[in-house]
Amino acid sequence: MKRLSIVALAAGAMALTLAGCGSDKSSDANGPKQSGTTTAARTASAVASTTVAAPVQPPAEAPTRATAAKKTSAPAGAQTTCGDFRDLTEDAEKQVIDQVLAANPGSFLDGSPNVALGTAKLACLSSGYTNTPVAVAIRVAPK
């Protein structure tokens, strides 16, 4: 008796699923038909505009922010703070990470300079780590 009820339940669920997947011939391609609208009104709203929009220009009085030149060498090597690390070029960042890993052998990032570099870039984004050494921010050196 239990098997018969399970089969009947499965057949009913399958019938409901298939009924929901069928096409509904009462609606057209533009969506469900609304009362009081005509076909002409629906097709007129679907026509795309062929005019080209003008490009958006910033206001003339908008301040322009000068970007500071990146530093090419770390001022303190392995003791570089996150604030200084953010101002370094990509090559200088790699040098700092190599120095940090060399100064802290046996850390969990030892042998993974790319992971350490990515971790340092993410950790040093935080303004709370501005004066924190990179080695402490990436957890390879104690506080």
Domain positions in the chain are 77-137
Question: How many Cβ atoms are within 10 Å of 87's Cβ, its own excluded?
Answer: 15
Q: Are 61 and 80 in contact (CB under 8 A)?
A: no
At residue 37, the 3 state secondary structure works out as: coil
pLDDT recorded at residue 138: 94
Q: How confident is the model at residue 54 (pLDDT cuts 50, 70, 90)?
A: confident
Say what the pLDDT of residue 10 is.
77
Distance linking the first and last C-alpha atoms of the chain: 70
Q: Which residues contact 108 (CB under 8 A, 6 or more apart)?
A: 139, 140
Q: What pLDDT is attached to residue 19?
A: 67
Average pLDDT (115-128) is 93
